[in-house]
Amino acid sequence: TPLAVDASHPFPQLLNKSHNLLVRAKTQRGGEPLHAIVQVPRVLPRLIVMPRGKGEDEPWVYIYLASLIKQHIGELFPGLILDGVHAFRVTRNSDLYIDEEEAENLLRTIEQELRRSSRGNAVRLEVEDDCPKDFRDLLLQFFNLTEADVYKLDGPLSMTHLAPLVANDAFANLRDRPFQPARDPALPLHVNIFEVMRRQDVLLHHPYESFDPVVELIEEAAHDPQVLAIKITLYRTSGDSPIVEALINAANAGKQVTALVELRARFDEAVNIQWARRLEEAGAHVIYGVVGLKTHCKALLIVRRDADRLRHYVQLGTGNYHPRTARIYTDFSLFTCEPELTEEVAVVFNTLTGLAGYPGLKKLLVAPFDLHKRLISLIDRERDHALARKPARIIAKLNALVDQQIIEKLYEASCADVTIDLVVRGICCLRPKIPGLSENIRVFSIVGRFLEHSRILYFENAGQREVFLSSADWMPRNFFRRVEIAFPVEQPSLRDEIIDEILPKFV
């Protein structure tokens, strides 16, 4: 549908990242140029396969929907002479602006903000590289942007619509071979997971080891008559999540279910709102995060009446409770019922769901309370060991390293001859191998079939080796504006597996 732009037809409110064509035309009599917008329909495939000959060697030809519309766009403007057609895409600010202190109902407030955010202020304009300046100037005026906000692209405005190429079986030889996660021998099918956890801790390395036991643990808890309560933090999960369905079943069965659903998980707000409502309808106690903080930690606590006593069963992870991404993201899950650690997890839940202050813990490092301070202490300890000529080394695998104070402490440790290896998937603000500053620091970034998402922290500690897994990157937002957990891996066999088998593959 062509949308005229003139004094009586204001510029249309184009959706975030929608594809559009700006058309300039004139009448047969001449006069001032006319302008119109043609939106590329979102409901149609963006990539169209063209008819193909029957021979095996016949090429596959695809054409972008926008190109097809552009080729025949004159049919939408009969009687006019076209004077230029150019594709563009606008990106809008999708941040949600919420005053949590003033919001009486956080869920309803976020729903309202979601409707607004699809039409937030424009922040970027993408155009074809041959788009003339006068066309760009007109769009900049419409969107209240400057030339610095324009990105000229030699090619499609978005590469995200190429999925049909991957799905075409004619190109199967170019795909990765199908990958099937292995089943950890400690958790075979149909095993009683609670019995296994009473005997030993279990560490799963996803996606190499299946995420299914995490789902099965929650499903087993939902149906086990000895389970009294389930508590969980949900940051991201799938729209058809078996985990949330199990929590709903548990609530329907009369168990006490507490779900801390983070409504502000970016781009997953709508899905989380949907699940929050379903959980509430089932009778679960749903908490919409902590005022002023995003709850980003991944924690599950199950309270079970065993034959000898009430016992806490805990799963802690570096990744989300999302079975689909667990097949393509590298993460860890720790299953444990070790009394001191599980009691600390219970304290964290009480801090998040109640009015109690954070008391300080021995084993868990928790943001925004003490994670930053205790990491600095661990780095300083390695520095002191090195100065005392004791074994000292740091290995940190992260998604991002940004925090200035942490970086300065790593520089200090390097200057004290601590060997430091950093595996950083994304942004890294530390500069390695600078004489007199960071000669003993190496930085790696792993690019492979799976997205590196796990966070691993290793400290040599004068031979008393320590390993922590964490949900947190080393960024100010993780340290001070989110609830995060770093947890120790203490069972010797599991700790040694990480140190001697997994970390060497990165460094």
pLDDT tens track for 387-415: 999 999 999 999 999 999 999 999 999 99
Distance CA 249, CA 241 (A): 13
Q: Which pLDDT value is given to residue 12?
A: 85
Residue 215, pLDDT above cutoff 50: yes
Q: Which pLDDT value is given to residue 114?
A: 56
Domain ranges, ordered by start, for the chain: 2-174, 193-353, 365-505
CA dihedral sign, ordered 239, 244, 246, 252: negative
CA-wise closest residue to 186 among 201, 166, 171? 201
Residue 273, pLDDT above cutoff 90: no
This prediction's pTM: 0.85
Given the candidates 3.20.20.70, 3.30.420.40, 1.10.540.10, 3.30.1840.10, the CATH classification of the domain at 2-174 is: 3.30.1840.10
Residue 117, pLDDT above cutoff 60: no
CATH class of this structure's domain 193-353:
alpha beta
CB 38 within 8 A of CB 21: yes
Mean pLDDT of 123-151: 93
Distance CA 25, CA 30 (A): 9
- Split at pLDDT 50, 70, 90, the class of 99 is very low
**For 226-238, how does the pLDDT look when each residue is reduced to its tens digit (9 = 90+)?**
999 999 999 887 7
Mean pLDDT of 434-448: 96
**For 63-95, how does the pLDDT look when each residue is reduced to its tens digit (9 = 90+)?**
999 999 999 999 999 988 899 999 999 998 866
Mean pLDDT of 115-137: 84
CB atoms within 10 A of CB 130: 9
**For 449-498, how does the pLDDT look when each residue is reduced to its tens digit (9 = 90+)?**
999 999 999 999 999 999 999 999 999 999 999 999 999 999 999 999 99
Q: Answer whether the bond into residue 10 is a cis peptide, omega within 30°.
A: no
Superfamily name and number for 365-505: Endonuclease Chain A (3.30.870.10)
Q: What is the mean pLDDT of the chain?
A: 90
Q: Which H helix or E strand runs over 476?
A: helix 476-480
Residue 100, pLDDT above cutoff 60: no
Q: Active-site residue 296, yes or no?
A: yes
Phi-psi region of 169 (alpha: psi -120 to 50; beta: other; left: phi over 0): alpha
Phi-psi region of 112 (alpha: psi -120 to 50; beta: other; left: phi over 0): alpha
Q: Which pLDDT value is given to residue 101?
A: 45
Q: Which pLDDT value is given to residue 267?
A: 53
Instruction: Note the residue count of the chain.
Output: 507
- Split at pLDDT 50, 70, 90, the class of 14 is confident
CA distances from 303 to 194, 280, 331, 491 (A): 11, 20, 25, 22
DSSP-assigned letter for residue 59: P
Do 193-353 and 365-505 show the same overall fold? yes
> Which candidate in 206, 296, 372, 385 is catalytic?
296
Residue 138: Cβ-neighbour burial (10 angstroms; 0-12, 13-18, 19+): middle
Contacts of 473 (CB under 8 A, 6+ apart): 398, 399, 400, 401, 402, 455
Contacts of 171 (CB under 8 A, 6+ apart): 165
Q: Which pLDDT value is given to residue 391?
A: 98
Distance CA 319, CA 235 (A): 9
Percent of the chain with pLDDT strictly greater than 90? 69
CA distances from 227 to 96, 138, 253, 317 (A): 38, 64, 11, 21
CA distances from 124 to 12, 40, 92, 97, 160 (A): 17, 18, 7, 19, 17
12 or 96: which leads in pLDDT: 12
φ and ψ at residue 387, rounded to 5 degrees: -65, -30
Q: Which pLDDT value is given to residue 301?
A: 98
Q: Which pLDDT value is given to residue 102?
A: 43
The β-bridge partners of 17 are none
Q: Which pLDDT value is given to residue 118?
A: 58
Mean pLDDT of 174-197: 93
C-alpha of 352 from chain center: 21
Distance CA 260, CA 386 (A): 42
Most confident of 38-52, 104-118, 253-267: 38-52
**For 291-331, how does the pLDDT look when each residue is reduced to its tens digit (9 = 90+)?**
788 899 999 999 999 999 999 999 999 999 999 999 999 99
Q: Which two tokens stand for residue 384?
A: 């002191």
383 or 102: which leads in pLDDT: 383
